[in-house]
Amino acid sequence: MSGQIALRDALSVLAKSSRYAVEVERGTDSVLQEYKEYLYVQSPVEEAFVQRLANLEPGEMVFLCGSSGDGKSAIMARHHDDYARRIRFHLDATHSFSPTENAVEALNRLFRDVKLTGEPLAVGINIGMLANYAQEGAEEHNDIKLSFQAFLQSDLPRADHHFISFSEHPKFLLAEDGGRSEFAAALLERLTSTSACNPFFRLLQEVVQEDDPYLHVNFRLLGDSGVQRVVIDTLLKARLFNDQFITARALLDFFHHLLTDRSYLFDNLFSPGDNELVQRISAFDPASQRHRELDDFSLRLGLGLSDADFEKYVQCLKEYGIAGLDSPTSYIRLFFLLQRSELGNNYHHWFASCFKNISLCQYARFWSLHKEIAATESIGASSANTLRKGFYKDTFVEALTRYVNRNARSLRKRHLLIGRRGAFDLAAHIEIHPDFARASQGASQDINYFNAFFTANGKEMPPVKISAGLLELMMRINSGYRPSKHDKSVIVILEEIVESIIEQALKSQSLYVYNNEHCIKFKKLEDGSIEVQGES
């Protein structure tokens, strides 16, 4: 069967825009169906959903919850035939059964029907529709509305109402040593396997390398375990720092772009074209980073200067199939892609330290430690010290203080600028400390953020959601960076945190007035009088 179709056409089943992809989804092309079915990997959320379907009792309901375009309907359609004889399916809760009713009315009728028949029910539903129905659903279904509200508020719904959420079964996971995605890794393993069972590999063997050199090399690169790890880490950065939603279809389209676009994989990874994921990933292009080693390499290459090790490396690249690189940009991207791999004399390893993402490593570490506190409902001395100093003191408090005091002339430690009057700076005292007792009860399972619990001048403050982007901004502020409008949403969150802390600082009974290096403290006493203390 494989010989009936060209490799690039077979790979089109990966692409979102391909006519082949559309035909395969409609089941109209038996030749391409083999390739689509071969690539099928069950996602974590689908595994949980199928397990619940297998155990769903009469009168029970299961809701597959997510966002638009995440594949809910595809998951439900895939298992419809296996369970349709005993379970009623409603693939998309945003749809109605007739043009005369809206989606809420359609759900009212659906719930009324299954309550009468006692059928188990499976519904694919968006989070937004859950909220709408909780507000607008019929009173006769208050039991379901209350379950929807409980789920949305992270409380426990009724025992016979089950919620399977994409957010609770993410494709990407975090650990203290970084991230991983068993789903993406399994897709890559199947796609690039050199087994005769892989129909794509069978087609690759039929292609003459000289006729399609990029495709051959890209397949070989993408089959390297070190390259796969770098690709998955890069996807994780897009997920965390750009809040990029990644569906199974988006992943397949991304892999199609890496393999079949107009250049080598390492250039395709950062050349956006029409691929949404690569458009986001291009922000992390290593060729745009400033490191002395990378700048020196670019300068030497631009001047035509070289060394024996690099010449040997270039020869190894030619033997591998990579030739004709004519810019530092392509070489730097190649070094980035191969940072975990072996090739030739491993010249690329000289630059590995340039590609270490400190922000991602720190985020994974702090996220994992907060999760550990909640899991054990306690915190060890080592973890407490790491969080107290590494995050709360040296990152969180330091960044907030620097940001608030960015226009101050000279303030003392733990003083926040609250206003200016001519030549005078007005400040208030603030003491911020981590609140591990609350942290042990409220850690997030969502990899997109962790909750920072703290007190300000002894008062419990609302938890702050620390995203990877916000943490990175704080680290940059502590390195001297001044935020601008280009920081978009994270600066809004930072402003909200600062506002709540300043509000608490203003409740202090003391006010500090600075004039250059001199400070005067005004303290309100219990009898209402003001005590003035001069401080040098």
Tell me the pLDDT tens digit for each residue of 204-227.
998 877 788 899 999 999 999 999
First vs last Cα of the chain: how many Å apart? 87
What fold does the segment set 44-168 form as a domain? Rossmann fold (3.40.50)
pLDDT at position 296 over 50: yes
State the sign of the Cα–Cα–Cα–Cα dihedral 263, 265, 270, 272.
positive
Pick 446 or 199 by higher pLDDT.
199
Average pLDDT over residues 257-277: 91
Judged against a pLDDT cut of 50, whether residue 23 lies above it is answered with no
User: pLDDT per residue over 472-494, tens digit each?
Assistant: 999 999 999 988 777 777 888 89
What does the pLDDT look like over 357-397, one tens digit per residue?
888 989 999 998 888 887 776 677 777 888 889 999 999 99
CB neighbours of 144 closer than 8 A, spacing ≥ 6? 61, 111, 133, 137, 161
Give one word for 32, left, alpha or beta, with left for phi > 0 and alpha for psi -120 to 50. alpha
For residues 277 and 244, is the Cβ–Cβ distance under 8 A? yes
**Positions of CATH 3.40.50 in the chain:** 44-168
Query: How sure is the predictor about 515, in pLDDT bands with cuts at 50, 70 and 90?
Result: confident
| Residue 177, pLDDT score | 72
The pair of structure tokens assigned to 305 is 């200067």
Looking at 5-14, 53-62, 519-528, which range is the least confident one? 519-528
The packing angle between helices 225-241 and 213-222, to 10°, is 80
Token reading at 429:
């005292």
| pLDDT surpassing 90 at residue 134 | yes
CB 523 within 8 A of CB 510: yes
Cβ count near 420 (within 10 Å): 13
Contact call for residues 120 and 57 (beta carbons, < 8 A): yes
pLDDT of the residue at 25 = 39
